[in-house]
Amino acid sequence: MNKIAPPLARAAASAALALASLGVHAAPVQTVVQSTDYGLLNLPYTQGFSLSLAPAASDDTFLSDCGFSIGGGGSFSSAVVTFDLGSAFQLSNLTVTLLEGDAWSGPVPSALTTAQITDRDSRIVATGTGSSMNKVIDQMTLGPGSYFVEVSGNVTGANGGSFGGLLNVAAVPEPAGVVLAAAGLGLLAFARRRAAR
């Protein structure tokens, strides 16, 4: 038995060294590289933003947050959000996602933990659609609260990459306001007909 153990131990050690010499590939990292919060919006609101990115490991993912809040007062009950990723250069796997809650408020850049990624996934409201390089979040109605648009992807250019986008938020009138507006238009039309006679 003593004669068998040393050769097995040597074989195991050799295998371990061989694996170590191949190198250990680190798991992909999701890193927040930019976070902007536009605060409580006065609607309607339009904001353009862009980001230039440094080269990164091909499997690492960048995240860029664009936060905003919608108030509960005024003459509207909710808001409609449209986000158009108008341009992208030297990026791949591009996604645009609308999430409920606050945009990233920690240091930038900052690699997210598994728990933080899971938390983000639980707050997704909508995901953008479109071509591989142009993504749009279609119009949707949002109630009062905090939201953020997350742009993510991988940098493929040897010198980095970039993107640009446009955020539009418009108020949806209270139903009573719509009815009153329609009634007012009806009265105007009736008054014109009477005046024309």
**pLDDT, tens digit, for every residue of 143-167?**
899 999 999 999 999 999 999 999 9
**The pLDDT of residue 191 is above 60:** no
Q: Is 87 helix (H, G, I), strand (E, B) or coil?
A: strand
Q: What is the pLDDT of residue 177?
A: 46
Distance CA 19, CA 10 (A): 14
pTM, two decimals, is: 0.74
Which of these, 148, 53, 135, 58, lies nearest to 100 by C-alpha position? Answer: 148
Decide if pLDDT at 188 tops 50. no
Confidence of residue 11 (pLDDT cuts 50, 70, 90): very low
Name which of 6-15, 41-50, 74-83, 159-168 the model is least confident about.
6-15
Query: pLDDT by residue (tens digit) across 23-72?
Result: 445 678 999 999 999 999 998 999 998 999 999 888 899 999 999 999 87
DSSP string, 33-75: EEEEEEEEPPSSEEEEEEEEE----TT-EEEEEEEEEE-S-SS
pLDDT score recorded for residue 158? 92
Q: Which CATH class name applies to 26-185?
A: mainly beta
pLDDT surpassing 80 at residue 121: yes
Residue of 176, 168, 174, 145 lying closest to 76 (CA atoms): 174
Q: Beta-carbon neighbour count of residue 42 at 10 Å? A: 10
Mean confidence (pLDDT) of the chain: 80
Domain spans in the chain, listed from the N-terminal domain onward: 26-185
Determine the pLDDT at residue 58. 80
Q: Are 171 and 74 in contact (CB under 8 A)?
A: yes
- What band does 195 get if pLDDT is binned at 50, 70 and 90? low
Q: Residue ranges of the alpha helices (H) in 86-174?
A: 114-121
